[in-house]
Amino acid sequence: MKASYFLGNKTFEVRECPIPTAGPGEVVIKNMACGVCGTDVHIYHGEPGSADVTPPVVLGHEYAGEVVEVGEGVTALQPGDHVTVDPNIYCGACEYCRNGKKQLCETMQAIGVTRDGGFAQYSVVPVEQAFKLSADLPYEWGAMAEPVACCLHGIDLAGIRPGDTVCVIGGGAIGLIMMQLAKLSGAAKLVVSEPNEKRRQAALQLGADLAIDPTDPQQRASMKCAANVVIECVGNNPAVQSAFDFAKKGATLVLFSVPKVDASFPLPLFDVYKKELTIKGSFVNPDTHGRAVQLLNAGKLNFEPIITHRFPLAQMAEAIAEQMGSESIKVVVCPQE
């Protein structure tokens, strides 16, 4: 099989490797589609992912495929099943795992980060990490289960109530998933703030009531102190500033994006005090992957305008570059091509 190994220093190498075999409690997956995540971009630039990365490693933690082999003791899945992978593997023994905060596990491993993942033609994973997809769901949509699961954790933290005005900062793939989940959660008015026209149009296509350009002073002013819930999905200071500007009194702000490791923001303390704001961070997807799969299998989410570019395994550097560009929303790698 072919596998694209990340070697560090912004370098990938496609290697010929043996197809893995399934040990006890494992399944081998023929990888059909794998999304390029913002975390992959951070790793590409030498920054940590959800866990520390030690090259060479096969990246790719947003993926779906077909089970081709099951190991001893596996009964929940069988060859031919379509599955998606929850990449995060927790120790179960540390303080956080034992107190209901497994996402903060002190020794978390992650498929596609610390273990070989989806940017290869085959992978092997513990059966507990594989979730069955409907056979008629496109593999590319199944690969979106992991980002949906992460977004669900953020939505849970946001505490959206039916009737709320929700503003999503950023119209990339994560922002467009968030706004769909916010709508399913009962938002009465759904606003997306995004400077890119293509992404604003995608937001409107997916059900946003309003898509504003935050670089336009008049449009920006229209959202001043207007939202009960603000979900920031960009990861830069102007976006965080927008989150504080758009939050009305008593609002909840979820800072969902993955910022640079050394990023900082001058906290507007008087706003926090006077508006009585609640500020929350959100990290990975504890116990939400199954719910994400249920939403996908039920056809509750639309990825048609989100997945914009596709690349073969041999063009990983180009796929990363495209994901960083303004013309893409979500880039998917197709390992079998």
**Averaged pLDDT for residues 249-272:** 95
Q: Is residue 286 part of a domain?
A: no
Q: Is residue 298 part of a domain?
A: no
Q: Does residue 180 sit in the same domain as residue 96?
A: no
Alpha carbon distances (Å) from 216 to 98, 196, 200, 299, 330: 48, 12, 13, 35, 25
Q: Does residue 18 sit in the same domain as residue 55?
A: yes
Q: Is residue 224 part of a domain?
A: yes
pLDDT in tens, 302-316: 999 999 999 999 999
For residue 160, is pLDDT > 90? yes
Q: Is residue 138 part of a domain?
A: yes
Positions marked active-site: 39, 42
Lowest mean pLDDT among 49-63, 91-105, 204-218, 306-320: 49-63
For residue 47, is pLDDT > 90? no
Q: Does residue 90 sit in the same domain as residue 42?
A: yes
Which of 81, 78, 103 has the alpha carbon at shortest distance from 91? Answer: 103
Q: Is the pTM of this model over 0.95?
A: yes
Q: Does residue 212 sit in the same domain as residue 86?
A: no
pLDDT in tens, 95-140: 999 999 999 999 999 999 999 999 999 999 999 999 999 999 999 9
Q: Does residue 138 sit in the same domain as residue 11?
A: yes
Q: Does residue 10 sit in the same domain as residue 138?
A: yes
| Residues forming beta bridges with residue 23, ordered by sequence position | none
- Output 163 or 49, whichever has higher pLDDT: 163
Q: Does residue 132 sit in the same domain as residue 12?
A: yes
pLDDT in tens, 220-260: 999 999 999 999 999 999 999 999 999 999 999 999 999 98
* Per-residue confidence (pLDDT) for residue 51, from 0 to 100: 81
Residue 46 CB coordination number (10 Å):
11
**Residue 49 pLDDT level (bands cut at 50, 70, 90):** confident
Query: Which domain, by its residues, includes 250?
Result: 151-281
Q: Does residue 176 sit in the same domain as residue 263?
A: yes
- Phi, psi at residue 145, to the nearest 5°? -60, -40
Output b/e per residue, 65-89; b: 16+ Cβ within 10 A: bbbebbbeebeebeeebbbbbbbbb
Q: Give the span between the Cα atoms of 184 and 45, in whole angstroms.
A: 35
Q: Does residue 183 sit in the same domain as residue 136?
A: no
The residue written with tokens 């994973």 in the block is 125
Total domains, the chain: 2
The residue written with tokens 């009531």 in the block is 209
Q: Is residue 287 part of a domain?
A: no
What is the CATH number for 82? Answer: 3.90.180.10
* Per-residue confidence (pLDDT) for residue 335, from 0 to 100: 98
Q: Is residue 294 part of a domain?
A: no
Q: Is residue 102 part of a domain?
A: yes
Are 222 and 212 within 8 A, CB to CB?
yes
For residue 52, is pLDDT > 90? no
Q: Is residue 323 part of a domain?
A: yes
Q: Does residue 101 sit in the same domain as residue 177?
A: no
What is the CATH number for 160? Answer: 3.40.50.720
**Residue 204 pLDDT level (bands cut at 50, 70, 90):** very high
For residue 159, is pLDDT > 90? yes
**Averaged pLDDT for residues 325-337:** 97
Q: Does residue 122 sit in the same domain as residue 245?
A: no
Q: Does residue 232 sit in the same domain as residue 191?
A: yes
Which of 36, 166, 64 has the alpha carbon at shortest distance from 125? Answer: 64
**Residue 50 pLDDT level (bands cut at 50, 70, 90):** confident
